[in-house]
Amino acid sequence: MHVKKHLGFSALRKIISERLREIEDGRQQGKVNYPLHDCAMSAFAMMFFQDASLLEFQRRMQESINRNNLNTIFKVESIPKDTQLRDVLDQCPTDKLEKVNADFFYHLIDELKAANMSFILVAKPSSHKILFEWFTDIKRMGDACRLEFTDFKGRHHIYEWVNEIPLNGTKDADDVNFFYYRLVDKEQITFLS
């Protein structure tokens, strides 16, 4: 399968990097060893590589061969220590980071649609309140589809879905197909998606 360059990792990483550079760093510039951009991109790299000790590994790599993946892949100029990373990101207003996240996903969705691709994305109730409100109202009216069954282990599976509901509350919101799954075991929800 041929991946469109504008949908490739480099292009999407570049969008995140550009948005992070737009966030004003409220710290005193003369006392800053690790820019907000480098800290946030380091955190992104840790999630991407799924490695809690990534930063220490990258520092050792930088010292031994004068190169590291954080710089070559994520364009991080200075690698923060774990405590510095947490300190910097804890001071950054979450609404600024949420905007970076939203911009990234809206761009990604637009690019996927422009390429006429099908896709599945996860929406959380905290970030897609309007979508979940629409779903709840449609469900209350009895217009949501539902399938449930109990498996041989006694776990109850509940599938609910609605087609073509607005993704958000904007005037030009995309209509999406919404799917909600719960796994109930011993009267406790053990999985929610």
Per-residue pLDDT of the chain (193 residues; tens, 9 = 90+): 455 666 677 777 888 888 888 888 877 777 777 888 888 888 888 777 776 666 676 777 777 777 777 777 778 877 777 778 788 888 887 787 777 777 777 777 888 888 888 888 888 888 788 999 999 999 999 999 999 999 999 999 999 999 999 988 888 888 889 999 989 988 887 766 6
Q: What is the pTM of this model?
A: 0.60
Say how far apart CA 146 and CA 132 lie, in whole Å: 16
Express each pLDDT in 57-92 by its tens digit: 677 777 777 777 777 777 887 777 777 878 888 888
Whether the Cβ atoms of residue 107 and residue 11 lie closer than 8 Å to each other: no
Q: Pseudo-torsion of CA 185, 189, 191, 192, nearest 10°?
A: 150
Say how far apart CA 175 and CA 188 lie, in whole Å: 32
β-bridge mates for residue 179, sequence order: 161
**Residue of 95, 100, 110 whose CA lies nearest to 167:** 110
Alpha helices in the chain (DSSP H): 9-22, 36-49, 54-65, 69-72, 82-91, 94-114, 129-140
Say how far apart CA 7 and CA 90 lie, in whole Å: 30
Q: What is the distance in angstroms between the CA of the first residue and the CA of the last residue of the chain?
A: 29
Express each pLDDT in 7-16 by its tens digit: 677 777 888 8
